[in-house]
């Protein structure tokens, strides 16, 4: 019998991750998988990696923020100037100041997909689509055709992330498609559905197949996470704090653009990139 904890979108929130790992241990989890965006936006990327090292994840894939690390390393200061690119540059720089060289390389080297065989099941992990780690194609209300694309090939189960919403759907071919939600930045569109809790899921699988899917929500000290961000001078901490306080998404491009203009973030990003090249 395997009990597998699926963790995604931790976003550098080690306070939430520690609470999730304690809950998983209490549920007698035997294995851990991560589905991208372990770091960026939160204040403690290195502590997150160290906590995960303690449970030895047996599967891990790249998210859009890990991919942004690589984009920042290769960026042209003259063209990498969109609002979210400026933010990515500054947050990548913050993370690199904390992450050990080994952990930074580990994040750079994550694969796009990983396939696991558990009992009779073939399970594929991917952050969004098999060849794409960003975008809104698998938002909960998107078309069936998009979810069929997500399940291309012949996996029995597809696990993805990125939306910060717990999801369970099926492909046209009957493949199960799961999203664990988010450990570190809980959000929901409708106010009545917002909860300040870390999300993950547990799969129970034995030799005959899938026995249970347990979507879990775990309380954590979100004010402590905000305080840590303040103490460590996390860039864009206003967005991070507002997300944890309201459980509503705060990082819209227009909001980021306005903040960048008010705080001269473009000049900071350019200075970082000029030192990188």
Q: Which pLDDT belongs to residue 275?
A: 86
Length of the chain equals 277
Label the pairing between strands 176-180 and 157-160: parallel
Q: 62 pLDDT band (50/70/90 cuts)?
A: very high
247: left (phi over 0), alpha (psi -120 to 50) or beta: left
Q: Which pLDDT belongs to residue 124?
A: 98
CATH, residue 217: 3.60.21.10
Q: 100 pLDDT band (50/70/90 cuts)?
A: very high
Residue 41 has pLDDT above 70, yes or no: yes
Q: How many domains are contained in the chain?
A: 1
For residues 160 and 263, what is the distance between their CA atoms, to the nearest angstrom? 35
Which tokens sit at 59? 């599967």
Which string of b and e fits 217-239 if b means at least 16 CB within 10 Å?
ebebebeebbebbeeeebbbbeb
- Least confident segment among 43-57, 163-177, 216-230, 263-277: 263-277
Chain mean pLDDT for the chain: 97
Residue 268 has pLDDT above 90, yes or no: yes
CA 218 to the chain's CA centroid: 16
Q: Which pLDDT belongs to residue 161?
A: 98
- In DSSP terms, which residues pair with 144 in a beta bridge? none
The DSSP result for 52-112, as a single string, is HHHH--SEE---HHHHHHHHHHT--TTT--SHHHHHHHHHHHHHHHHS-HHHHHHHHT--S
For residue 270, the surrounding DSSP H or E stretch is helix 265-276
- Compute the 3-state secondary structure of the chain and give helix, strand, coil in percent, each to the nearest 5: 40, 20, 40
Q: Which of 16, 9, 44 is nearest to 228 (CA)?
A: 44
Residue 277 has pLDDT above 60, yes or no: no
Residue 35 has pLDDT above 80, yes or no: yes
For residue 150, the surrounding DSSP H or E stretch is helix 144-150
First-to-last alpha carbon distance for the chain, in angstroms, is: 50
Q: Which of 11, 99, 136, 124 is nearest to 63 (CA)?
A: 11
Instruction: Say which residue the tokens 């199960």 belong to.
Output: 176
Residue 276 has pLDDT above 80, yes or no: no
Q: Which pLDDT belongs to residue 52?
A: 98
For residues 71 and 82, what is the distance between their CA atoms, to the nearest angstrom? 13
Residue 227 has pLDDT above 70, yes or no: yes
- Please write the tens of the pLDDT for every residue from 249-267: 999 999 999 999 999 999 9
As a whole number, mean pLDDT of residues 54-73 equals 97
Q: In which domain, by residue range, is 131 found?
A: 2-276
For residue 267, the surrounding DSSP H or E stretch is helix 265-276
- Please write the tens of the pLDDT for every residue from 130-146: 999 999 999 999 999 99
Neighbouring residues of 183: CB distance < 8 A, sequence distance ≥ 6: 7, 8, 9, 10, 11, 13, 16, 17, 20, 198, 199, 200
């Amino acid at each position: 019998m395997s009990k597998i904890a699926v963790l995604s979108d931790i976003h550098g929130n080690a306070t939430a991750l520690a609470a999730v790992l304690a809950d998983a241990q209490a549920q007698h989890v035997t294995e851990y998988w991560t589905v991208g965006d372990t770091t960026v936006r939160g204040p403690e990327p290195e502590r997150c990696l160290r906590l995960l090292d303690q449970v030895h994840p047996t599967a891990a894939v790249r998210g859009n923020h890990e991919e942004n690390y690589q984009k920042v390393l290769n960026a042209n200061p003259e063209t990498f100037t969109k609002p979210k690119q400026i933010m990515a540059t500054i947050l990548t720089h913050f993370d690199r100041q904390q992450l050990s060289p080994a952990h930074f390389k580990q994040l750079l080297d994550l694969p796009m997909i990983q396939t696991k065989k558990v009992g009779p099941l073939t399970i594929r992990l991917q952050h969004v689509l098999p060849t794409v780690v960003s975008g809104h194609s698998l938002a909960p209300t998107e078309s069936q055709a998009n979810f069929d694309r997500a399940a291309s090939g012949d996996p029995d189960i597809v696990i993805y992330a990125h939306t910060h919403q717990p999801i369970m759907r099926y492909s046209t071919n009957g493949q199960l498609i799961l999203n664990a939600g988010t450990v570190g930045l809980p959000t929901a569109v409708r106010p009545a559905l917002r909860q300040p809790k870390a999300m993950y899921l547990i799969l129970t699988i034995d030799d005959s197949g899938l026995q249970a899917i347990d979507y879990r929500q775990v309380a954590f000290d979100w004010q402590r996470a905000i305080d840590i961000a303040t103490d460590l001078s996390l860039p864009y901490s206003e967005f991070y704090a507002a997300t944890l306080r309201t459980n509503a998404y705060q990082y819209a491009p227009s909001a980021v653009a306005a903040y960048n203009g008010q705080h001269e973030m473009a000049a900071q990003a350019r200075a970082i990139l000029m030192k990188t090249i």
